[in-house]
Amino acid sequence: MEIRFDGQVVMITGAGAGLGRCHALEFARRGAKVVVNDLGPEPDGSAGPSENAKAVVAEIEAMGGEAMAHGASVTNQVAVGNMVQEVMERFGRIDVLVNNAGILGDKSFHNMTLEGFQKVLDVHLMGTVTATHAVWPIMREQAYGRVIVTTSSSGLYGNFGQSNYGAGKMGVLGLISTLKLEGEKYNIRCAALAPTAWTQMTADIFPPEAEDMFKPEKVSPAVIYLAGPDAPSGTILCAGAGGFARAALMESPGVYLGPDASAEDIAANWDAIASMDQAVEHFAGLEQPQKMTRLYQSG
Residues 206 and 165 in one domain: yes
Residue 256 in domain: no
The pLDDT score that the predictor gives to residue 48 is: 79
Residues 270 and 241 in one domain: no
Task: Decide if pLDDT at 201 tops 80.
Answer: no
- Residue 74 carries which side chain, given as an amino acid letter? V
Task: Decide if pLDDT at 235 tops 70.
Answer: yes
- Told to judge if 165 belongs to the known catalytic residues of this protein, a careful annotator would answer yes
Task: Decide if pLDDT at 90 tops 90.
Answer: yes
Q: How confident is the model at residue 32 (pLDDT cuts 50, 70, 90)?
A: very high
pLDDT over 70, % of the chain? 98
Residue 1 in domain: no
Residues 91 and 159 in one domain: yes
Residues 180 and 209 in one domain: yes
How far is residue 216's CA from residue 240's CA, in Å, rounded to a whole number?
Answer: 8
Task: Decide if pLDDT at 43 tops 70.
Answer: no
Q: What is the mean pLDDT of the chain?
A: 95
**Which H helix or E strand runs over 236?**
strand 236-240
* Strand duo 96-99 + 9-12: pairing: parallel
Kindly calculate the radius of gyration of the chain based on its CA atoms and give it in whole angstroms: 21
The pLDDT score that the predictor gives to residue 5 is: 98
How far is residue 97's CA from residue 87's CA, in Å, rounded to a whole number?
Answer: 12
Residues 214 and 274 in one domain: no
Residue 42 in domain: yes
Residues 243 and 268 in one domain: no
- Tell me the three-class secondary structure of 61-82, residue by residue: HHCCCCEEEECCCCCCHHHHHH
Mean pLDDT of 189-196: 97
Residues 206 and 240 in one domain: yes
Mean pLDDT of 138-159: 97
Residues 76 and 37 in one domain: yes
Residues 106 and 214 in one domain: yes
Mean pLDDT of 215-240: 97
Among 37-51, 207-221, 251-265, the least confident range: 37-51
Residue 2 in domain: no
Domain that holds residue 279: 263-298
Return the higher-pLDDT residue of 192 and 39: 192
Residues 184-201: b if buried by 16+ CB within 10 A, e if exposed: eeeebbbbbbbbbbbbee
Residues 242 and 286 in one domain: no
Number of H helices, E strands in the chain: 11, 8
In contact, 168 and 127? CB cutoff 8 Å: no
Residue 253 in domain: no
Residue 39 in domain: yes
Q: How confident is the model at residue 204 (pLDDT cuts 50, 70, 90)?
A: confident
Among 79-88, 198-207, 216-225, the least confident range: 198-207
In contact, 14 and 100? CB cutoff 8 Å: yes
| Cβ neighbours, 10 Å, residue 240 | 20
How far is residue 265's CA from residue 42's CA, in Å, rounded to a whole number?
Answer: 59
How far is residue 108's CA from residue 263's CA, in Å, rounded to a whole number?
Answer: 33
Task: Decide if pLDDT at 223 tops 90.
Answer: yes
The pLDDT score that the predictor gives to residue 34 is: 99
Residues 281 and 231 in one domain: no
Assign residue 239 the CATH number of its domain.
Answer: 3.40.50.720
Mean pLDDT of 38-56: 81
The strand pairing partners of 244, in sequence order, are 239
Task: Decide if pLDDT at 42 tops 70.
Answer: no
User: Taking Cα atoms as reference points, which of 18, 12, 55 lies closest to residue 36?
Assistant: 12
Residue 62 in domain: yes
Residue 254 in domain: no
* Triad 221, 223, 228: Cα angle to 5°: 95
Residues 78 and 192 in one domain: yes
Q: Please tell me the total count of domains within the chain.
A: 2
Of these residues, 144, 157, 165, 186, which one is catalytic? 165
